[in-house]
Amino acid sequence: MLGLKRNYIQDDMKRSDILKICALAAPLQACTQEPAHPNIIFFLVDDFGWVDTEVAFGPEDYPQNHRHDTPNFLALSRESAILTNAYACPLSSPTRTSIMTGLNSAHTRITNPLASVRGTDNTCPGEVLETADWNVNGLNPAVPGYEDNVERSFYATPFVRLLRDAGYYTIHVGKAHWATAGTPGSNPYNMGFNVNVAGGVVEFSKCGYRSEDNYGNLAGGRAVPYTVQNMTEYYGSGLHLTQALTREALKTLEYPVQEGKPFYLYMSQYAVHTPIQDDPRFYSKYLERGMDEGQARFASMVEGVDVALGEIRSWLEEKGIADNTVIIIMGDNGGNSENLAKGGVRHTQNKPLREGKGSCYEGGTRVPMIVYWKGHVTPGTMLNTPVICEDLFPTILDIAGVEERPTVQTSDGESLYRLLTDGSAYVAGLHPGSRREAYATVVPESISGLDPQRYIVSHYPHQWKPYPIEDIDYLSSIRSGDWKLVYRMLSRSLELYNLADDIGEQHDVAAEHADIVAVLAKALSERLRNWNAGMPVCKGSGLPVPYPDELAAALCDTTDIAANRDI
């Protein structure tokens, strides 16, 4: 039950220090008030690119930030902290299961989007490498009443169960995608949700956003077994799926609000994933602006999500609970730059970032992240410490004030609580003079509890599509501070980028910084080994691809290079 207390003051800080910072910048409320159990809305947008909204997460406000009208995201961001260096996994299920478990996807071995049918490995066969072994059945909950007998599946304690056990009323609306059909993980109830609307196993590329198509529930040859469920009310209504889901979400929120119970709403948008189907409210406007049809369709979908956010915020205001409701915005992976339906020129949609969805380059993993929490997060601040999806597990539990956390796993993620609260207050106090300056400002570990040089690991040991894509398949990466190492497993090469100078990862400086390469390769390898991460297997030798520190050593030793090449 709720009633637990959090200890706001960390051991390494004196209360007087906090009060000093508070007096400087943060609303007094944040410093004096006992922790409540705020409502939490996690607003997760599918395939949401880093530059898909008007909110500039970069050191510059890029032209791409002005393609889509997103006044609600922009307004929210001004009242929130913007996390400029937020990472998801390169693909959907890995991110979703990382959030649920607090573990890196290399650790859960859920490294690819899951198929619908149990036991299906939907990675694509490569010519040179065999796909890495991975948990094709996804995440299953380690909870009473279920034995851990689903093969090729990772068992962990979902954080939503901890929220529910602590007295939160937990609501799932939208896309789940944690596990295959025929397993407990496919059912949001087992993950800890009291209520589920539309969450199940969905082959979404075959479904749809159009009420005229019953959101994919059509008779005959067009019918597919895994479609959007629970939405019969809106069939033929003319409402885009994003609108319909928003209405359902608000309906299910009535109960906890009426009962005065804190709620956790996982508002998991199907948009802006393929199929790219226009939201007719906004489509023609973008055509008139000169976009091609694909671009205009996609733009209308993004604006639909923006309006959904606005509707939710209006509702919170009406109910008088906006001030006590935390809103976390995030994308589940980078924007899709591989799909022709989005129009424009492929592999450019996330510029200045390189590549998109599926890739360990920044375009695939760097995502929008905004945290609104009135009185706790200082509005309009930029937080530049790198953060990653597995951080959400401890972060949300901290925000919720849940101290009892019996789990079978130990979180890889770290709580962003102090970064968001004390960190945002600290940044606000610095009054940075320019966006570039603000972007260079880092919250020290003594304030945030987070080492700004902390390692951010991404790992994709598969081929995504039936055809090879050089900047997506078989990549692994690690970031620390401004430095980022990319391990190309197919060519067994290491690249090094300095993101401060080269956010687009255009200038490989590995040859000039062998020492940094070695450090990062070692750090990445240690994590992959400790996590028993899946590695692709060389078809020729039948041996797994070497860890990157085996290559890095080789960079200084030609004998080793030759030895590695024989594998």
- Least separation in angstroms between residue 101's CB and its own copies is 19
Find the DSSP H helices in 184-240.
188-191
Q: CB-wise, 159 or 168, nearer to its own copies?
A: 168
* Cβ count near 146 (within 10 Å): 15
- Least separation in angstroms between residue 457's CB and its own copies is 31
| Distance (Å, whole) CA 205 – CA 277 | 11
SS3 category, 142? coil
- Least separation in angstroms between residue 50's CB and its own copies is 32
Q: CB-wise, 229 or 407, nearer to its own copies?
A: 229
- Least separation in angstroms between residue 297's CB and its own copies is 24
Q: Within the chain, what is the greatest distance between any pair of CA atoms? A: 71
Q: CB-wise, 211 or 421, nearer to its own copies?
A: 211
- Least separation in angstroms between residue 225's CB and its own copies is 4
- Least separation in angstroms between residue 403's CB and its own copies is 19
SS3 category, 257? helix
- Least separation in angstroms between residue 1's CB and its own copies is 9
| Distance (Å, whole) CA 306 – CA 221 | 34
Q: CB-wise, 195 or 326, nearer to its own copies?
A: 195
* Cβ count near 63 (within 10 Å): 10
Q: CB-wise, 8 or 189, nearer to its own copies?
A: 189
SS3 category, 381? strand
Find the DSSP H helices in 368-468.
392-400, 417-418, 424-430, 435-440, 445-448
- Least separation in angstroms between residue 234's CB and its own copies is 7
Q: CB-wise, 94 or 141, nearer to its own copies?
A: 141
Q: In terms of Cα–Cα distance, which of 340, 385, 326, 334 is closest to 361?
A: 334
User: Rg of the chain over CA atoms, in angstroms?
Assistant: 23
**Residues at the interface with its own copies (CB under 8 A):** 118, 164, 181-184, 186-187, 189-190, 194-197, 200-201, 214, 217-221, 223-226, 229-230, 232-237, 248, 251-252, 255
User: Reading across the β-sheet that carries 483-488, which strands appear in turn?
Assistant: 455-460, 475-480, 483-488, 493-498
| Distance (Å, whole) CA 342 – CA 274 | 8
- Least separation in angstroms between residue 243's CB and its own copies is 14
Q: CB-wise, 180 or 476, nearer to its own copies?
A: 180
First to last CA, the chain: 56
Which is it for strands 154-156 and 139-141: parallel, antiparallel or unpaired?
A: parallel
- Least separation in angstroms between residue 177's CB and its own copies is 11
Q: CB-wise, 250 or 456, nearer to its own copies?
A: 250
Q: Residue 234's Cα: distance from chain center in Å?
A: 29
Q: CB-wise, 156 or 533, nearer to its own copies?
A: 156
* Cβ count near 78 (within 10 Å): 13
Phi and psi at 495, nearest 5°, equal: -120, 150
Q: CB-wise, 72 or 187, nearer to its own copies?
A: 187
Phi and psi at 45, nearest 5°, equal: -110, 130
